[in-house]
Structure formats: structure tokens, C-alpha cells
Amino acid sequence: MNWCLHAVDRLARVLVLSLLPAAVAQAANLTIAVSTTPLSTPFYVADKLGYFAQEGVQVTIKDCSGGKQCLARALSGEQHLATVSELPLMFNSFSRKDFSILATFATTNRNVKLVTRKSAGIRLPKDLAGKRIGLVRGAAGEYFLDLVLLTYSIDPASVTVVDMTAEAMEAAVKNRSVDVFAAFEPGGFNLMKALKDDGFVVPLPTIYTMSFNLAGLHAVIEQRREQMPKLFRALEKAVRFIDTDPHKAQAILVERLRVDASFVGWAWADYRFNLTLNQSLLTTLESQAHWAIRQELVAGKKVPDYLDLIDTRPLATVRPAYVTVVK
């Protein structure tokens, strides 16, 4: 029976490859949808310093405004791989099983911030009741907000959630249609800059550690299996460079994102860069899945088996010690 299942799986992957856009399926280089955030610094460093080329892999970085959008590009076959936080991966796991998580390369417990106007009267989390809160649905900000409400015993029905893109948040600052934003960086910094002296970040303890991961379709990963170790060796070099020369890494980030150097100073201490596949990723995905089911944000009622969505082989080929997921 097992050999039949494996045969069906291989056939399914071949069929998926045949349906991918020709430019993606046949291109010699890897195209990676990379979210324009400091969390993507290892990719920017590896690209700038030529680490991809040194390892013998051609990589083209395609910018996108957030992990949710990046993952959509990879799952549609527009790009080979995507950088993405765990929340969009969790949401997609309820409707499809044809993608894999290959590695975590960054973590942060302060990438999402509650940014508000001082004039809105929000000084503490308890002041969120009765307010209009802008966020990107289906991304880390939504989960983060619900954790805040739960932690401080605030009835979710007492707040009005406004679904908006990161770009729309700055417009909402001007027309004051929203009282507070659950914004991920660099959105939080940009909102504070737009609000000037009226800007305020609601103080919160550490309640959520977000991971940033590399993911892609099973079929694409299988097709590009030989390139994966080369990709991870290049990223490992980048992570080491960030650790040993953070000032140069920050300069690369400023140049790549064309952001104010003061933004990097504002956010840099919040990030940790390391190539891993930890058991904690499974725990977070399962916790988020339970939350999504409880909030009726997904159609399913059963938590997916996330071990099936984690491919340890490429990273384990490069550094087995980096993989602590038990399969």
C-alpha cells in the first residue's frame, strides 16, 4: 500500500510541475519572493556580498510587501520560494498540503507593535476597548491582537477590527478613521513618523515570538533539490556575517530597502537571525491552528499535522545540528 501512495504522490508532483508557469518551471535560477522587512536581512546580505554566486546558485530576489503576499506568489507558481511568517502558513494548511517549510531564518518578539495617537487616549492595553483597530487580516498582526485581548481580558466584541493593507494604514493616519494599528515593521516606524509628536507605541510584555521562514511548493522543491543545500550554505554565510559585522549588515539593509537609517536603529535589537528548524515552530503552528479554529477563521475543525509540512532534508544536508524537529 505504501508504494502505491508514494507513486501517487510522485505523479501528483509531476502534474503540479506541468501546470507551473513555464518561466518559473524552466528557469535556471531560483526566484524568491522576499518580504521587504528587516527580517529578510540574510537574503539581502547574501545577495549583496555574492554568497549565492559563491555557492553556485543563481538567485533572483522579488520584492513583495509582506509574507502573506510572498507566499501567495510561491503557491501560485509565480516564484519558486517565499519568505513568510508562520501565520499565513497555518491558514493555508487548512486548504492545501502541497507546500513545505524549509527553514526558519529569523525570529522576533517585537516586529508587530500597537501604534496609536496620543490623542486617541490609549495609554495601556486596557484602553483598547471600544476602539477601531487596523490590521492585515490573515497575517501576524491579527493573531498578535487576539493574544493581547486575551492576555488583558478584553472582550473581542468590544473592539472594531478594520482589515487594511500596510500601505492603507498611513492614509488612515491622516483621516483618523482608525484609532490604533497592529502594524509590522517597517510599518510601525512609518506610522510613528507620520504621527510625529502624536505617535505612541502601547507598552506590552513579550507575548508572541514570530518566526520568519522559507517555504515553497513540494513540486518546486523536488525539482530544485540540488540547489537547496547551496542556497542554505549561502544563507548560513549571511547569518554569520550579520552576527560578526552588524553595522555593515545594517548598511546593506538601509541600501536595499531605501529606508531611513534611524529606522534600522529603532528596530534592529528586536531581531535574531539564525538558520533553524526547531520544535518550537511546530508548537506555534499548532497553537495558531487551535486559535483559528476557535475563532472560526478556517473551515476545518482538526489541527493539521505540521510534521507533514516540514521538509528537514535541505537544511539537514548542510547542518544537521540546526534541525531539532522530531520526524
What is the pLDDT confidence band of residue 283, given thresholds at 50, 70 and 90? very high
Side chain identity at residue 87, one-letter code: L
Domains of the chain and CATH, by start: 2-108+210-322 (3.40.190.10), 112-201 (3.40.190.10)
* Three-class DSSP category at 210: strand
Q: Model confidence over 197-238: pLDDT tens digits?
A: 999 999 998 888 999 999 999 999 999 999 999 999 999 999
What is the pLDDT confidence band of residue 160, given thresholds at 50, 70 and 90? very high
Using an 8 Å Cβ cutoff, are 17 and 25 in contact?
yes
d(Cα 84, Cα 207) in Å, to the nearest integer?
Answer: 20
Q: Model confidence over 117-130: pLDDT tens digits?
A: 999 999 999 999 99
Helical residues (DSSP H) of the chain, grouped into ranges:
2-19, 22-26, 41-48, 51-54, 67-76, 86-93, 140-151, 166-175, 187-195, 218-223, 228-244, 246-257, 261-267, 279-294, 313-318
pTM above 0.75, yes or no: yes
Return phi, psi of residue 263, to 5°: -65, -45
